[in-house]
Amino acid sequence: PFFIDQHLVTKIDFARYLNATGYRPRDSYNFLSDWQHDEGAGHAPCPAQGEESRPVVWVSLAEARAYCAWAGKRLPHSYEWQLAAQGTDDRLYPWGNSDSHEADGPPRRPQPSSGRVVPPLPDVGKFSPAGDSVYGVADLVGFVWQFTDEFHDQHTRTVLLKGSSNYEPMVSSDYPALPQVGNWYFPKAAQVNRHNRMMLMDDSYERA
């Protein structure tokens, strides 16, 4: 048995961690890049007004683990995430077998975007309870890629990511004959039986 949070970590959650611990990365490149920074005054970064309830992004695997440790928790193993999202009936999505944009009823996840600009993230819990899993866990797919297990060998380190994101640019039929902004190396994986892996190099590379 294990416990898992019902909701994603919000920006205000992470701000409390920064204020309590005084954490500042030695290499700040990409760190909380969508927050407000006032480095000259020595203040911690803070979310923009009105964005406090959005999920926190632009943190590395190590920074996500450090937040979890401070909160008395840890990141889920991939099989724990899978059970929390899928239950025991092999459903394809936390709410059933049809994507929310193909089924009747209220939306269950953000509308995917494939444009030139990454859209703003909705508030955590906006699609609850319609998009919740059978165990009541919200925002498992279609919001942000979610860290789970790390794998490594003699040459490389990777982290297994679950849940996909709301940004899903597609390669057009003109590629590679014509250049395009939407070329994307990271396929979507909104179905709960799918995943992706990301290479681990350093904190600034992993922040996304």
The 10s digit of each residue's pLDDT in 45-94 is 999 999 999 999 999 999 999 999 999 999 999 999 999 999 999 999 99
pLDDT bin (cut points 50, 70, 90) of residue 119 is confident
Q: Which of 83, 56, 85 is nearest to 71 (CA)?
A: 56
Amino acid 115: pLDDT: 73
Instruction: Quote the CA–CA distance of 85 and 94 in Å, as a whole number.
Output: 5
Q: Which long-range contacts (CB under 8 A, 24 or more apart) does 68-72 make?
A: 70/17, 70/20, 70/21, 71/13, 71/17
The 10s digit of each residue's pLDDT in 100-114 is 655 568 899 998 887
Spatial CB neighbours of 24, under 8 Å, sequence gap ≥ 6: 44
The H helix count followed by the E strand count for the chain is: 4, 3
What is the identity of the amino acid at 71? A
pLDDT bin (cut points 50, 70, 90) of residue 175 is low
The predicted model scores a pTM of: 0.89
